[in-house]
Chain A
Amino acid sequence: MTDFGDALSIPWLSLITFAPLAGALFIMLGRATAPRVDGGAIAPEALEDVDRNAKRVALLFTLGVFIISLFVYVAYYDPSLGGYQLVEESEWIAGVNYKMGVDGISVLFVLLTTFFFPICVIASWNSIKSRVADYMIAFLVMETLVIGVFCALDLIVFYLFFEGSLIPMFLVIGVWGSTGVKEFAGYRMPSRVYAAIKFFLFTFLGSVLMLVAILWMFAQTGTTDVPTLQQTAFPAGAQTWLWWAFFASFAVKMPMWPVHTWLPDAHVQAPTAGSVILAAILLKMGGYGFLRFSLPMFPIASADFAPVVFALSVIAIIYTSLVALAQEDMKKLIAYSSVAHMGFVTMGIFTGTKQGIEGALFQMVSHGFISGALFLCVGVVYDRMHTREISAYGGLVHRMPFYAFIFLFFTMGNVGLPGVSGFVGEFLTMAGAFKVNSWIAFFAAFGVILSAAYGLRLYRQVMFGELTKDALMTIPDVDARELSMLAVLMLFALYLGVYPHPALSVFSPSVDLLMNTYDAGRLIASGG
């Protein structure tokens, strides 16, 4: 840790959180000042400038935020401490303070977020052609809200960010989603609209119950301060329904079986960058919520209902893996595989063991890199062929050797091959589960086998075989822009797979603290 003076003098976390918003305002300003034709619309020549500037501003701000967040992490964050660091607090409404801070559980998610947004801007560089400025604004607003989710240390502030992040994602799916028509309840509508509304309503409905629980906790304690509430022992009876209210919200977000059905729709319809953010970041808010709120605040209920979570996790792992086997759409297959991998995360979290929780955290970070990269890979061929049907491809290895190599690497990562980061998380969560109940680990292990089945099937059908389809004869390999994004992700996945210690050592002190709270909370219950 280098000393750069008093870290508290600059509100670093607020700066990181709200800097993307400044970028969005900048783009709006650029559009507002663009030359206009008589009708009030922006002149076509000027529109091109506006769009190009929007992309540059977005890239500049997301990269800048990433660099600042790295700098703050290196300079001011002490990974050997378990408690909250870089804490900021100011008064807001009576009993509710604007409070930000990070610990070992959240800090890597903040970095993961700031890392992925520039990648998303680059991934959208050529593939988004309509309303580019709006698109970039939506992404910048989303970055602010997502970073806020991981930094907020007040329940109401957390809820604001958590729910607010629905709005930009809703617009991204609905406006820039793919084409296609969906029949639902007698209405014909574009399937992206169906997916966007389903995404919003599922997650909104899941979260409103959490709001009631938050209000109840506020009524009881007079505060919504997270560290205070983590030390508050709620009566066992109240913990039960508080736990379920929080569970409803995070289980939908995660998503857990059987409330996962919004995810395949949202993933398939979202533009590539939207899928990447959804898989790499937004799903992690559910797991983060379990670790930040459910476990430390309601330890008794968490222990009581752990078997329910195990059952749902195992069903998710096996059932959605089988569903993934039957998919004809590449994105849908990866989406179902995400649900299965999140099953390992929920299983690990509720083992209540150090390995399980660290494994879950590691699995979330690793899944961020791998599934994000897989969606980028699908985006690469989708941009060229405009189809995600597995059967439309075949024999790509002959035309796209680099692409085939990259895809193979991330498929193996998704399967959980040792040496790639996916293995470490799955291994640790299963080791944790084994301590609690060997049957759970036994069934969960089927998920690893099944993931090899669907992963290799996808790879064989897309990459191997003869190159017979006329449309594929001229398909070009990955270009420098795509290669640079994917290579960075490969490096991370490989590094974490071979040498997971740096990530685990960041988690460790905070997980220890969490375990103390969790065990102490349960002891109170058993000790009476």
Chain B
Amino acid sequence: MSVFESLSLFLPELALVLGAMGLLIYGVFDDEAGEVVSLACVGLLLAATALVALGGGVDAEAFAGAFRIDAFSQFAKALIFGAAAFAILMSNEEREGSGVRRFEYPILITLAAVGMGLMVSANDLIALYMAIETQSLALYVLAAINRDSRRSTEAGLKYFVLGALSSGLLLYGASLVYGFTGATGFEAIARVATAEGASPGLVVGLVFMICGLAFKVSAAPFHMWTPDVYEGAPTPVTAFFAAAPKLAAMALFARALVGAFPEAISDWRPVIAMLAVASMAVGSFSAIVQTNVKRLLAYSSIGHMGFALVGLAAGTERGISGVLIYMAVYIVMTIGSFACVLLMRRQGGRTENISDLAGLAETDKSLALILGILLFSLAGVPPTGGFFGKLFVFGAAVEAGLVWLAIIGVLMSAVAAFYYLRIVKIMWFDDAAPAFVSGPGVRLGLMASLCAAIMLPGLLFLIGPLEQAATSAAAALF
């Protein structure tokens, strides 16, 4: 396959990269470029989403097997580009001077999205590492984009140092895997890493790689950076961090394990199961005592990664499809919740205290209803969308014989239900705090309502098609 044929498979990414470069040059010359650039980036990302969604049914290798474009990568890319577009739209109603109104902000998100697009199609250790770094570098800068704020700068620095550490672990693991298999391509590794042939050195390499990837999905015990970075980064940036990169890292995780080590499942399944249990426990118990809504959502996302990892631990086709469904639902819930957090405006700035939500049902009924639906969905209470995510990952785990993991999972979801209920209680049962002031624009409100409507009742109707898409996406890995 020639270079041009390979490139033609990356049409959406190419459009994004070239567009972002062009907009970068434009932004340098125009002082008022912020709004135009961000709308252009949204347009580019939505176009890329459409390109990916419409160009279904591809199954090809590009650049001599370094990347693989298949139903799995298309499914993940459509979600990633869509989530990135939403993240840019979220920042447009921010006040001036918070950093996210700079014209670099949408461009960095676009470039990060390109990195994520490469991540989910990476089919080779070197491509995997390059894609992760493309994404991560953009994310480090985004965390610190509000450079006049000490919190934001601190968040960026923490993210960078711990991210570099995790990349180091990943590289070390990858080099061990290369050393023991003599290959970097996933198929070639899979041929050597058979159930009998997996040497101890290879397993060590595998475990290091898993540790590095666990950092990226913020699975416990590699989660420590998450609450600090989420709290410190500007809220629209946090919303972006919590959505698209998690899906990209989870998809990469799935492809690396199922693509490169399908026979060695007995070696990595216990590790993933332990990560899942630890993440569910940390996410559920630590969130109970949080008072800052962004920190709470950080712990909540750690817990959600644990639930998604339950599906990965199953390691079956149904498990991977469960992971994809879970992540799709999770992204919508997360974007919706952060849109609600962005609407928590007070005179003179935004508040992040959970206690400020008190009595929201009296002061702003629609916001209370929207956030209520999203919280019940995050808790996984039927008939909201969050329940279906859990249904499919736990179903896959039970089918794969991991009944104990499913039991721990459902018990943890009951613990997690407590802290989501606590917020519902604050919103609906407590005496009203002063109302939030309404800010400019209606975009956030629309976004939050859309996400809530997808969770209830939308997904009751959409779950069938979503399940079919996720199943065919998962089938591409096997």
Give A contacts to B, CB under 8 Å.
31, 39-40, 91-94, 131, 134, 156, 159-161, 163-164, 166-167, 170-171, 174-175, 190, 192-193, 196-197, 200-201, 204-205, 208-209, 211-212, 215-216, 218-219
Contact = CB atoms under 8 A, between A and B. Distances in A.
B391 interface: yes
Contact of A196 (B382, B410, B411, B425): B425
Interface in B27-60: none
A201 B418 contact: yes
Interface of B: 361-362, 364-365, 376, 381-383, 387, 391, 394-395, 398-399, 403, 406-407, 410-411, 413-414, 417-418, 421-422, 424-425, 428-429, 435, 438, 463-464, 467-468, 471
Contact of A174 (B365, B407, B429, B435): B429
Contacts of B407: 209, 212
B398 A175 contact: no
Given A196-B425, A197-B418, A201-B417, 20 more contacts: A39-B435, A91-B464, A134-B365, A160-B382, A161-B383, A164-B381, A164-B382, A174-B425, A174-B429, A197-B421, A197-B425, A204-B414, A208-B411, A208-B414, A209-B407, A211-B391, A212-B398, A212-B407, A215-B394, A218-B395
B395 A219 contact: yes
The secondary-structure label for the interface of chain B is helix
B413 A216 contact: no
A224 to B, nearest CB: 10
A134 B366 CA distance: 12
B429 A190 contact: yes
Contacts of A175: 361, 428-429
A40 B364 CA distance: 9
A192 B429 contact: yes
A204 B381 contact: yes
23 contacts: A40-B364, A92-B463, A94-B464, A94-B468, A159-B382, A163-B381, A163-B383, A171-B428, A197-B418, A197-B425, A201-B414, A201-B417, A204-B414, A208-B413, A209-B407, A209-B410, A211-B410, A212-B410, A215-B399, A216-B398, A218-B395, A219-B395, A219-B398
B411 A200 contact: no
Contacts of A40: 364, 438
B467 A94 contact: yes
A92 B464 CA distance: 6
A31 B365 CA distance: 11
Contacts of B410: 208-209, 211-212
Given A94-B467, A201-B414, A215 B383 contact: no
Contacts of B394: 211-212, 215
Residue of B364, B381, B418, B435 most packed against chain A (CB within 10 A): B381
A92 B417 CA distance: 27
A93 B463 contact: yes
B49 to A, nearest CB: 25
Nearest to A42: B365
B418 A215 contact: no
A212 B395 CA distance: 8
Residue of B381, B382, B421 most packed against chain A (CB within 10 A): B382
A190 to B, nearest CB: 7
B83 to A, nearest CB: 24
Contacts of B435: 39
Contacts of B365: 31, 134
A39 B429 CA distance: 22
6 shortest interchain CB distances as A-B pairs: A208-B410, A219-B399, A160-B382, A215-B398, A174-B429, A160-B383
Given A174-B428, A197-B421, A216 B403 contact: yes
Contact of B361 (A134, A201, A216): A134
B425 A93 contact: no
A206 to B, nearest CB: 9
A166 B425 CA distance: 14
B417 A215 contact: no
B382 A163 contact: yes
A309 B458 CA distance: 41
A215 B406 contact: yes
Contacts of B403: 212, 216
Contacts of B382: 159-160, 163-164
A10 B418 CA distance: 41
A156 B388 CA distance: 10
Contacts of A204: 381, 414, 417
Contact of A212 (B387, B406, B468): B406
A458 to B, nearest CB: 31
Contacts of A190: 429
Contacts of B417: 200-201, 204
Contacts of B399: 215, 219
Contacts of A209: 407, 410
B458 to A, nearest CB: 14
A216 B398 CA distance: 6
Nearest to B417: A204
A93 B406 contact: no
A213 B435 CA distance: 45
Contacts of A93: 463-464, 467
Contacts of A156: 391
Given A94-B467, A164-B383, A215 B395 contact: yes
B462 to A, nearest CB: 11
B416 to A, nearest CB: 10
Residue of A164, A166, A170, A208 most packed against chain B (CB within 10 A): A208
B423 to A, nearest CB: 12
Nearest to B394: A215
Residue of A31, A91, A167, A209 most packed against chain B (CB within 10 A): A167
A204 B414 CA distance: 7
A259 B364 CA distance: 37
Contacts of B429: 174-175, 190, 192-193, 196
A166 B381 contact: yes
Contacts of B464: 91-94
B311 to A, nearest CB: 12
B414 A205 contact: yes
Given A167-B376, A215-B398, A193 B425 contact: yes
